Amino acid sequence: MQNKMSTRKAYGMALAELGEKYDFLVLDADLSKATMTKMFQDVYPQRFFNMGIAECDMMSTAAGIASCGKMVFASTFAMFAAGRAYEQIRNSIAYPRLNVKIGGTHGGLLIGEDGGSHQCIEDLSIMRTLPGFVVLAPADAVEARAVVEAAMNYEGPVYMRFGRMDVPVIYDSNTFKFEIGKATVLKEGCDVTIIAVGEMVYEAVKAAAVLEDQGVAARVIDMCSIKPIDADIIIKAAKETQGIVTVEDHNVVGGLGSAVSEVVTEKYPVKIRKVGVKDTFGRSGKRPDLAAYYGLDVETIVKNANDLLSK
């Protein structure tokens, strides 16, 4: 495994690798080079279908195929999946609970220059409200591959969010295990808990190192499974630390921060700070500039952790 790789590339690699082991079809909305499903197409051309720039039709077609007993992966940008094709996903996939796996790539604001129209910051919120839907957002390439195989072994609809940019590999492919509904503790700590999702997990790990230099022991949790969420690990953190900072490249309304808040308010209320997009649209820019402008960086995570502890 490379030291850096985008989760979308890992998605394409996983489909191509697992095509021999599992029986499934792949549909794409004329973006296979960007979503990386072309890797599967190159190996299994008879099992791949380019549906053109017609995402709604693609989701309906995926539902029709799945209704006949075949597992289907439907891939496009997160904005076009969760946004443009929402009605078809809701009524044709979620409502009959069909075995369709949706790969939404280019998720989040940190995809860079594509700008606000393509920077999907609502997909986790939209998809987790659909009854029966599993929602997963891997942190690195190793977890992305594990997520794809977990989706294949799950009977029912799954939404997977993948990023555009290369990100550092966190996990060891030889030892990492993933389970739907379970989170991963990357670092133990007794002062504050940082719960992150997707590509922001690595930023959370870096923030914990900064906090450690400041004498603060931060627990870091990778909440790849947004739904079902690991309530047990959240409650344990709430009881054992002084509060929780959630970190996501997503609108703070309805995303990871909201999901974690729903758990603690019912089970064990604690202080929470939400690091994410503050209910605004994105704009075109370089990834580091966007991260600094929107507060999706190490400095903002550290500041929120210290602010929580000071109060």
Give the residue numbers annotated as catalytic, written as ranges. 55
Question: Phi, psi (5° rounding) for residue 100?
Answer: -110, 135
Give kind and range of the element (H or E) at residue 7.
Answer: helix 7-18
Phi/psi zone of residue 145: left (φ > 0), alpha (ψ -120 to 50 degrees), beta? alpha
Gap between the Cα atoms of 233 and 231, Å rounded: 6
Whether 231 contacts 262, CB under 8 Å: no
Give kind and range of the element (H or E) at residue 173.
Answer: none
Residues 6+ apart with CB under 8 A from 24: 47, 70, 71, 72, 73, 101, 152
Q: How many CA atoms lie within 13 A of 212 on its CB side?
A: 13
DSSP state, residue 47: G
Q: Where are the beta strands (DSSP E) in the chain?
A: 4-5, 24-28, 48-50, 71-77, 100-105, 134-136, 158-161, 167-168, 184-187, 192-196, 218-222, 225-227, 243-251, 271-277
Q: Please name every residue paired with 243 in a beta bridge, in sequence order, or none if there are none.
A: 271
Question: Phi, psi (5° rounding) for residue 154?
Answer: -105, 130
Distances (CA, A) of 259 to 5, 99, 247, 253: 28, 24, 12, 10
